[in-house]
Amino acid sequence: MACWNPNIEMMSKEDLDILQLKLLKELVDRAYDRSPLYRERMDEKGVKPDDIMTLDDLSKLPFMSKKDLRDYQPERLFMAGKRDIIRYHASSGTTGKPTIVGYTKKDIETWSESLARALTSAGLGADDIVQVANTYGLFTGGLGFHYAAEKIGAAVVPASTGNTDRQLQMINDLGVTVMAATPSYMIYVGEVAEKMGIDLRKSTLKTGLLGGEPWSDKMRERIQSQFGVRGINCFGASELYGPSWTECDEQCGIHIWRDIAIFEIIDPKTGDKASPGERGELVITMLQKEAFPIIRYRMGDITVMDEEKCACGRSHPRMMRISGRVDDMLIIRGINVFPSQVEHCLHTNPEVGNEFQIVVDRKGALDDMLVKVELKPEAFTDNILELNALRERITSRLKNSLNVGAKVELVPTGSLPRFEGKARRVMDRRDI
């Protein structure tokens, strides 16, 4: 098993505990001394830096939220001065006002180091040609994969998003082996390839670094079987660094480097720490960030952590696939529904294509959920009886999976909107 930094990646849990506590204490000291907002929050909670004596003392610290990043930066939040900031990025703003993120030179180096370890653990190296089909610019995806791929010695094709015909041409002309993209764009590339008569399974492209939006194991299976591309799950966010962690070759969870971050799982309602192996809301503390503090930052993602040693030999914990978000969770007639649940259920039907859309309305006092489902070309037919039977089957499976009824509309391939970046699969019209 290849390692980029074996001294850290293969460190024992005991040594990682010692290192992580040292870094946590340094972070809290820095935040209390340099961030007016975080000092105020600590004082309000009655906690001082000297109170952090063990890793369990992390729970004494106040939570942070995206609202803090939107409302108080840079003056009250940043720990670094303007002369120390060498780059700014911004979040997509899909859940509100975009958050501005600053980076020092060391922040950029730590970000690249984290992702270099991750890419190496996934089997990538100097022999690879990485086509980055994530957006370059304020979004962190493009430059994140770009810097890390160069760091491990791979060649980089800075394609950015869109211009799909050219993307396919570059794969063919340059012998591209890896593409970094959102899962929905990877599927779209595959669909365009099929229309152009290109069989990606016979191309040099073997690995997709996929993240930036929710996706399921069923979607991964489809990408791997339909296009012959191994799908590696990636995770990150602009306020953390950007894409920073991936699965290793074992593909059994995303390794989180303990010298770079602490991942907690809490009950989203009470804020209490979840029991080991229990699913809950993800809370992140970034141990080495210099520009501004990310301490007990509530991500809103729902997941679970596996603390057991991985088969690859690394003792760093693994984050399992995100099942949804606290803030994009739909509540339909009192039932919690995640788009990823809908996607997983739909993809158990072989006739279903790659795209779907959830439309939620309120009819009187009741919620009404419609799921528009694209069928594969060979599955869409003029035979009304066959379509009705398929729709009834999908409707029944959705009800059994979600515990709530949904109407189903079957549409031909290409009917639903495509997005070059993150797919937008939910249209909630109850407040319109």
Q: What is the pLDDT along the chain (432 residues), one digit of tens a residue?
A: 799 999 999 999 999 999 999 999 999 999 999 999 999 999 999 999 999 999 999 999 999 998 898 888 778 899 999 999 999 998 755 444 678 899 999 999 999 999 999 999 999 999 999 999 998 988 899 999 999 999 999 999 999 988 999 999 999 999 999 999 988 899 889 989 999 999 999 999 999 999 988 788 888 998 999 899 999 999 998 889 999 999 999 999 999 999 999 999 999 989 999 999 999 999 999 999 999 999 999 999 999 999 999 999 999 999 999 887 787 678 787 777 888 889 889 999 999 998 999 999 987 667 889 999 999 999 998 899 999 999 999 999 999 988 889 999 999 998 998 877 777 788 888 864
Q: Is residue 357 a contact partner of residue 416, using CB atoms and an 8 Å limit?
A: yes
Q: 371: closest CA among 349, 348, 401, 339?
A: 339
In terms of domains, do 358 and 421 share one?
A: yes
Q: How far is CA 146 from CA 108, 152, 290, 398, 410, in A?
A: 12, 10, 22, 40, 39
Structure tokens at 32: 């209390």
- Antiparallel, parallel or unpaired: β 129-132 and 155-157: parallel
Same domain for 386 and 310: no
Whether 23 and 2 map to the same domain: the answer is: yes
Q: Tokens at residue 148, please? A: 């890390």
Residues 307 and 349 in one domain: no
**Residue 352 main-chain phi, psi, to 5 deg:** -80, 140
Structural domain ending residue among the three candidates 326, 357, 380? 326
CA–CA gap between residue 246 and residue 249 (Å, rounded): 10
CATH of the domain at 53: 3.40.50.12780
User: Among residues 304, 326, 348, which one ends one of the domains?
Assistant: 326
Q: Are residues 322 and 346 in the same domain?
A: no
Q: In this structure, are residues 132 and 97 in contact, taking their beta carbons and an 8 Å threshold?
A: no
242, 371: one domain = no
The reply to whether 172 and 321 lie within a common domain is yes
The torsion of the CA quartet 193, 195, 197, 198, rounded to 10 degrees, works out to 0
- Residue for token pair 């979004």: 139
Q: Which residue range forms the structural domain that includes residue 359? A: 330-428
319 and 222 assigned to the same domain: yes
Is the same domain home to 235 and 96? yes
Give pLDDT, residue 371. Answer: 97
- How many structural domains compose the chain? 2
Q: Is 230 left (phi over 0), alpha (psi -120 to 50) or beta?
A: beta
What does each C-alpha distance from 153 to 21, 116, 127, 247, 265 come to in angstroms?
32, 10, 8, 19, 35
- Residue 390 is part of a domain; what is its CATH number? 3.30.300.30
Per-residue model confidence (pLDDT) at position 95: 46
Task: Give the position of tokens 């012998």.
Answer: 175
Same domain, 58 and 137: yes
Residues 303 and 334 in one domain: no
322 and 337 belong to one structural domain:
no
pTM value is 0.83
Q: Which of 281, 301, 326 is the last residue of a domain?
A: 326
List the structure tokens of 422.
């993150």
Spatial contact of 298 and 65, defined as CB atoms under 8 Å apart? yes
- The angle formed by the CA atoms of residues 187, 193 and 199, to the nearest 5 degrees, is 105
The full length of the chain comes to 432
Q: How far apart are CA 14 and CA 333, in angstroms?
A: 48
The answer to whether 247 and 253 are in contact (CB under 8 A) is yes
